[in-house]
Amino acid sequence: MSTFSSLQNNHPVIEDSRLKSILEKVLAEERLSYEDGVAMFRSPDILALGYMANLVRERMHGDTTYFNVNRHINPTDVCVASCRLCAFGKKAKDPHAYTMSLEQVWEVAGKGYAEAVTEFHIVGGLHPELTLDWFCEMISGLKDRYPGVHLKAFTMVEIAYLAKRAKISVRETLERLKAAGIDSMPGGGAEIFSERVRRIICDHKIDGRQWLETARIAHRIGLRSNCTMLYGHLEAPEDLSDHLVKLRTLQDETHGFVTYIPLAFHPDHTALGHLPKTSGFNDLKQIAVSRLMLDNIPHIKAYWIMMTPSVAQIAQRFGANDIDGTVVEEKIYHDAGATTAQHLRRQDLLRLIREAGREPVERDTAYRPVTRTESAFTVLV
Ligand code: V47
């Protein structure tokens, strides 16, 4: 469509005619189909996608962009799986592998406490010897020492592995960890549900059906979680749309997903190191299409660690309403070649958000606003 004719219908940025019916649905607040998702992932019309996603984002969140202050804790990088996508996991006998003692985990957490973090994000490898009891002790020790900090811990993949090793159900495993003190779960490990691609990039992991079933059980026992999708490797537009529709279908049932985070594949130091890095164009498209498809998931996070602060800033006008936080000590992406800093100053984050015309709001994990004084923070309920 020419700029002149599109100007005539007041939607000047829709160039790709295949997106016109999608725009009509977006304006009518109708659900988009799997086919719409495929068409959007195929479309090069990034401005149209961003325009539509921004309409939805502003309808849901106005000008607010959320951020939080958290610390990642990775107790071990020992992992029995050898996923081609991963540069983090190591075999137990690898001289560079590490496993923290319980005291070390609690000590690392103490550093975050001093930085007044509101959340510990705890994930690690599938260790062949650490037991469920060990993890329960780790969690209850953290809760005792840092009662005000939200514990967002263990991917669905780790839960399924712990259950298998303890020879108990996923439900019982989750119930024990919840009793020990976990408050919610992160969204990692979902990768891409397509069996064809999963077989190549992470064939040692639980399959997509098991990931979704573990999330279903977590949500049913009252543990909310995030969800993710890994893109920028061997996937086709059909795989991307299918993944989002599966997340949306589960969300209709449980309402347990809080935030969706698209994760760009970083190939360095992985067995897929020959693949190119993703582009800013693809990063923005993933943000926009997910905002449009995931009509029942409240928040879309542009994770600056992964997409760089510059792209995460632009993403705030392409559908995202969250930019992650200031305090991180991130290993999974940096082992795979991420060149972003491991820490952004609060004032840098505020500037990025304000420059994008958005209103920064610090949040806790449940998206309640947090206010800070010189030395403490308060959650506003
Ligand atoms: O589970 C692993 C992915 C995830 C690579 O829930 C890789 O708030 C890219 O899940 N290149 C970890 N990705 C990160 C994650 C996350 C991050 C931020 C916030 C939240 C949240 C969750 O990263 C892994 C895996 O899916 N991953 N290796 C790699 N080479």
374 or 246, greater pLDDT: 246
Q: What is the pTM of this model?
A: 0.94
Per-residue pLDDT, 20: 93
For residue 4, pLDDT beyond 60: no
* Residue bearing the CA closest to ligand 1, atom 18: 303
Ligand 1 centre to CA of 230 (Å) is 8
Q: What is the pLDDT of residues 348-374, one digit of tens each?
A: 999 999 999 999 999 999 999 998 865
Could you identify the atom of ligand 1 that is nearest to the CA of residue 269?
A: 30
Domains of the chain, with CATH numbers? 61-366 (3.20.20.70)
For residue 257, pLDDT beyond 80: yes
Per-residue pLDDT, 15: 87
Confidence of residue 6 (pLDDT cuts 50, 70, 90): very low
Residue 191 CB less than 6 A away from ligand 1: yes
Q: What is the mean pLDDT of the chain?
A: 93
* Residue bearing the CA closest to ligand 1, atom 15: 188
Q: What is the pLDDT of residues 140-194, one digit of tens each?
A: 999 999 999 999 999 999 999 999 999 999 999 999 999 999 999 999 999 999 9
Q: What is the pLDDT of residues 319-355, one digit of tens each?
A: 999 999 887 777 887 788 887 776 788 889 999 999 9
Tokens of 327: 């305090």
Per-residue pLDDT, 5: 45
Give the largest Cα separation in the chain, rounded: 66
Residue 125 CB less than 6 A away from ligand 1: no
Contacts (Cβ under 8 Å, ≥6 apart) of 24: none
Q: What is the pLDDT of residues 214-234, one digit of tens each?
A: 999 999 999 999 999 999 999
Single-letter amino acid code for the residue at 229: M
Confidence of residue 131 (pLDDT cuts 50, 70, 90): very high
Per-residue pLDDT, 335: 82
How far, in Å, CA of 86 to CA of 100, rounded? 20
Could you identify the atom of ligand 1 that is nearest to the CA of residue 338?
A: 11
Tokens of 131: 């037991």
C-alpha distances in Å from residue 156, one per residue of 207, 211, 223, 374: 11, 6, 12, 37
Q: Which of 13-27, 208-222, 251-265, 289-303 has the lowest mean pLDDT?
A: 13-27
Ligand 1 centre to CA of 84 (Å) is 14
Per-residue pLDDT, 83: 94
For residue 1, pLDDT beyond 90: no
Tokens of 219: 């949500």
Q: Which of 53-57, 259-263, 304-308 has the lowest mean pLDDT?
A: 304-308
Ligand 1 centre to CA of 332 (Å) is 7
Q: What is the DSSP letter of 194?
A: -
